[in-house]
A and B are shown apart, each in its own frame.
Chain A
Amino acid sequence: MTGTETVLGAPVERREGREKVTGTARYAAEYDAVGRAQAWPVPAAVARGRVTGVDPSPALTLPGVLAVLTHENAPRLADPQDPTLAVLQSPHVPHRGWFVGLVVGETLEAARAGAAAVRVTYEAEDHDVTLTADHPEAYVPDMANGGFPAVTEHGDPDAAFASSATRLDVEYRVPPLHNHPMEPHTSTARWDGDRLTVHSSSQGTTAVRTELASMFELPEDRITVLAEHVGGGFGSKGTPRADVVLAALAARTTGRPVTVALPRRYLPAVVGHRAPTLHRLRLGADAGGRITSLDHEVTTHTSRVKEFVEQAAVPARVMYAADALRTSHRVAPLDVPTPSWMRAPGECPGMYALESAMDELATDLGIDPVELRIRNEPETEPDSGKPFSSRNLVQCLREGVRRFGWADRDPRPGSRRAGPLLVGSGVAAATYPVLVSPCAASARALPDGDFLVRVNATDIGTGARTVCAQIAADALGVPLDRVRIEVADSGIGFAPMAGGSSGTASWGWSVHEACVRLGGRLAGHSGPLPGEGIVADADTSGTADADSPFARHAFGAHFAEVTVDTVTGEVRVTRLLGVFAAGRILNARTARSQFVGGMTMGLGMALTEDSTVDPAFGDFTECDLASYHVPAHADVADVEAHWVDEEDAHLNPMGSKGIGEIGIVGSAAAVGNAVHHATGIRFRELPLTPHRVLTALLEHEHPAGMLGA
């Protein structure tokens, strides 16, 4: 084994870990400067309508209030690429919580008091925030999120379904969900003449700079966006949000550096959510369990600000061999906040529905659900016909079967009891596409023997800077501690965001290339290095984004064990085990953390997380972390993540697939399938909270706990 092999894949500790646990890591709100002001937004108090008047005077008379910005006085901005960023540009109110004002104060307290004092009057209109499968405004869009066609069809799904020996026709429902990263969306902006510097809690500084340049009509080289530490994003910081535009506007208006740290309560309405999805799945199978027809229909909502279509039927284009296959999306524009990316958009809700339906089909056929999936393993990607660059779903399932002890399972529903608890186990598959984008990077050999690698990666808590350093050390063939790394600065060069599970592949590819080039230069160099060292640049445009003749996806399998309390309907996950095939794992420590984090988020989706659309007021009811129930420690008993070794030469120089999202894909279905196994009842709507589970238990007249009532 050479030295490089020990660097790539090793469980290296994250480089910024000490800074974070000692509190010295600085986040976007913590860049203080002389004269820095704070700002607090004013959210709209109607679900639809327009602002008819704003009286800022009660705010302006308060001590410490510097300015009140509204659509009446805020500087005009060029139209943004993302219409949700057109803040304070018009009196139009597209949904409750839309920002209609911003109060800038000497202190956070002054700004907050000012925001409470601003008097806004509205002309309210009737609103509609309720998604139904037959909503009259629902239409088939051109594209779903990710650029996927809204509809695909192969063969004759209706005829194939009608003539299938076994037919399953079921509907599932996933509620709106929220990312709720620990660090709320925050930006600190400062103007120096016509130069703008922004510290922003973002998943990618390049995209923030591009949007600010266009909106403020500035050359990009006059804008610097920094995001050294980011307290999570889960997709909700993938592109700029209102905070950065408001901070830049307020800083320009007041001539002061301004911080906009969005209050937690305002996040649900303005930073995006996972749109609710209504699924209809029709599966036909022959007596041998081979799928003859697969039809996945998704209806979702978007706002009236822009079209965002959760691509939840897309994973059905990848998963199973089916003689006939149809996938389709419909979207209804409602008076709701604008949905956006949340960890594995499309795959996460889509695979909940598809993998639940597969479990139902297995039950109907009397075939083990693992075996059913193996029987329907496709030769090539069902939708495109392309060969897979690698596909190890079956290996993941088999490894999970072995580790979980699946073979000992009595398949009969309701067959395991422990006092008042019903015990069950379930399985589901996972998939997530391999995405990769071009990126710039540089590597410099320094006279002191160190190497400085610069890449505009964003480390949102994943360990990105650590893994990029490992890739560099590997490519240079040097010890890891000789590699220094600089990230998260738009001045370094263009880079894609930390999203789509593509960051490491994209940044790492350019880091690898720069380091290989530098190695070549160093090999041709003799004598001491010049004072500035020797540098090599890389730009993977044209290579990283070249079309691949292969279908490239990561796969995985989840196994869950649950208990269902027959007294209360409370479901607890006692075990969650995932096995993933995601190419080469570059850092065993941070990768495990990503898998376990994704699985835990899937557990929350299955059992506790729910953003209720308030039909009367038009917003989301759960606006804090006391009411939006992410799993607490007590909910997460035993989560294990494993992976199978996967060699794939068709990916990138590191041989890696993304790992940030696949952990959440399918985990909720595994939990739901386990609940069916425990109870014999199919739940087709998440989350599985006691009110839903108990109601169904009662309907099925289960004996209650100890009293048999």
Chain B
Amino acid sequence: MKPFAYVRADSVEEATDAFAAHPGARYLGGGTNLVDLMKLGVETPTALVDVTRLPLDVVEELPDGALRVGATVRNSDLAAHPAVRDRYPALSQALLAGASGQLRNAATTGGNLLQRTRCPYFQDLSKPCNKREPGTGCGALEGVHRDHAVLGHSEQCVATHPSDMAVALAALDARVELHGPEGARSVPVADFHRLPGMHPERDTEIHPGELITGVVLPAATAGLPSAYRKARDRASYAFALASVAAVLHLKDGVVDRAGIAFGALAHRPWRARRAEDALVGAAPTTAAFEHAVDLELAAAEPLRDNAYKVPLARRLALDVLGRLAPPATT
């Protein structure tokens, strides 16, 4: 058994100090993924810095109309929060589409963003995985990869990011707030996760020692029509085969603002900038939606056994966009 230290932090500074004092440490939130990975031997931290007692468990309204979600707010609580349900319905829907009730009660906002891929090769120490052990190869490339990436993958890694919540946050232009040895900073959720490239072992842009302290949902997307939809193999407790979050604002009969993100297609929530650019200024017609979504998915490069993901994502996106802005029937 690999012994590890356990430190319970009461403040952000205590947490980052403890992390710095224990090379090889990990922050512990709800533990719904990290503890599993420790049991599997995938994660072998020297120390766990428990951040669940930090005063980061509140959802607060900011003066400019934005909403800050503390990093330790549980997924269940966030999904049920009236301000989230009213102003950012896509986020509430995404959270409720994730995992199971028991897991959502434990999982935190920060931990959800930092969860790791459920690629079976990543979880199995007896098989190659460049993410787990750089240079060993990718088992999924020739193995079983029906659930794997169709966008932005590399020869090194075809894993997907498993989060539902992060997809909604990306579409809603949320930002991740970080606190680390070099102070505080924030990063758009859509840029927080990385594509694998040559370094699949790095999931995110987080710097060593940085702690997620919260997520800020901007005023700009508050109250806009938004929705999340996920397709999966069973009705609950299953990761997405594909999912989409979208926020859409119409003005004078044309799209004024569009935020679209796909889940389960890539190593990160896939912000569909090309589709968004194509939509802004266009009338919300079926043809416009199709054109925009097809423009985005043209970049897809399916693997041997996951080509279905492209039409699935397309239909999910068209369904969600159609519901947010019912196109004229003419």
List residues of chain A with CB under 8 Å of any chain B CB.
43, 45, 62, 64, 107, 109-110, 112-113, 116, 265, 420, 567-570, 572, 607-608, 612, 614-617, 621-623, 626-627, 629, 631-635, 687, 689-691, 694-695, 698, 704-709
Contacts and interface: CB of A to CB of B under 8 A. Distances in A.
Interface in B123-158: 124-127, 139, 142-144, 146
Given A614-B143, A616-B143, A709 B290 contact: yes
A626 B146 CA distance: 16
Contacts of B231: 567-570, 690
Nearest to B141: A616
B241 interface: yes
Nearest to B323: A706
A45 B127 CA distance: 8
Contacts of A704: 315, 318-319
Interface stretch (B5-13, B84-92, B163-171, B232-240): B232-240
B208 interface: no
A617 B139 contact: yes
Given A112-B1, A116-B41, A691 B235 contact: no
B319 A705 contact: yes
Contact of A632 (B236, B290, B306): B236
A569 B126 CA distance: 34
B311 A635 contact: no
B234 A607 contact: yes
Contacts of A622: 120
Contacts of A695: 308, 311
Top-7 shortest CB links A-B: A634-B235, A634-B236, A568-B231, A109-B1, A113-B1, A691-B308, A616-B143
B312 interface: yes
A631 B234 contact: yes
Nearest to A695: B308
B41 A690 contact: no
Interface residues of B, number: 41
Contacts of A572: 235
Contacts of B127: 617
Contact of B118 (A45, A616, A627, A633): A627
B184 to A, nearest CB: 35
A567 B315 contact: yes
A617 B143 contact: yes
Interface of B: 1-2, 40-41, 100, 118, 120, 124-127, 139, 142-144, 146, 231-238, 241, 286, 289-290, 306, 308-309, 311-312, 314-316, 318-319, 322-323, 327
A420 B319 contact: yes
Given A567-B319, A616-B139, A690-B312, 14 more contacts: A43-B126, A116-B125, A420-B319, A568-B316, A569-B231, A570-B232, A608-B234, A621-B144, A623-B120, A623-B124, A691-B308, A694-B311, A707-B289, A707-B318
B146 A691 contact: yes
Contacts of B319: 420, 567, 704-707
B163 to A, nearest CB: 15
Contacts of A113: 1-2
Contacts of B286: 707-709
B216 to A, nearest CB: 31
Contacts of B125: 116
Given A109-B1, A570-B232, A45 B315 contact: no
A614 B144 CA distance: 6
Nearest to A621: B144
Nearest to B321: A707
Nearest to B144: A621
Contacts of B234: 607-608, 629, 631-632, 634-635
A265 B42 CA distance: 14
Nearest to B326: A706
Nearest to A616: B143
A62 B234 CA distance: 43
B41 to A, nearest CB: 6
A655 B316 CA distance: 54
A623 B121 CA distance: 11
Nearest to A263: B39
A595 to B, nearest CB: 22
17 contacts: A116-B41, A568-B315, A568-B316, A569-B231, A570-B231, A608-B234, A614-B144, A616-B142, A616-B144, A617-B143, A632-B100, A632-B238, A690-B308, A694-B312, A695-B311, A705-B319, A706-B322
A622 B237 CA distance: 15
Contacts of B143: 614-617, 621
Contacts of B146: 612, 691
A82 B322 CA distance: 60
A90 B241 CA distance: 43
Contact of A705 (B236, B241, B315): B315
B142 A709 contact: no
Contacts of A567: 231, 315-316, 319
A689 B233 contact: yes
Nearest to B2: A113
Nearest to B237: A632
Contacts of B41: 116
A62 B146 CA distance: 40
A107 B72 CA distance: 33
B161 to A, nearest CB: 16
A632 B235 contact: yes
A612 B236 CA distance: 21
Contact of B322 (A109, A112, A707): A707
A112 B2 CA distance: 10
A21 B2 CA distance: 35
Nearest to B320: A567
Contacts of B241: 690-691
A113 B3 CA distance: 11
A434 to B, nearest CB: 34
A600 B116 CA distance: 32
Contacts of B232: 570, 690
A372 B91 CA distance: 51
A606 to B, nearest CB: 12
Contact of B315 (A635, A689, A691, A709): A709
A696 to B, nearest CB: 10
A629 B316 contact: no
B215 to A, nearest CB: 25
A708 B322 CA distance: 11
Given A570-B231, A707-B322, A621 B120 contact: yes
A168 to B, nearest CB: 28
Contacts of B2: 113
Which residue of B118, B142, B144, B235 has the most chain A CB atoms within 10 A of its CB atom?
Answer: B235
Nearest to A114: B1
Given A568-B315, A691-B308, A694-B312, A627 B120 contact: yes
A540 B263 CA distance: 62
Contacts of B139: 616-617
Contacts of B318: 704-705, 707, 709
Which residue of A62, A110, A568, A622 has the most chain B CB atoms within 10 A of its CB atom?
Answer: A568
Which residue of A567, A627, A698 has the most chain B CB atoms within 10 A of its CB atom?
Answer: A567
Which residue of B1, B124, B146, B323 has the most chain A CB atoms within 10 A of its CB atom?
Answer: B1
Given A616-B142, A632-B234, A704-B318, A698 B1 contact: no
Contacts of B314: 709
A483 B112 CA distance: 54
Contacts of A110: 1
A689 B146 CA distance: 11
Nearest to A704: B315
Nearest to A568: B231
B82 to A, nearest CB: 25
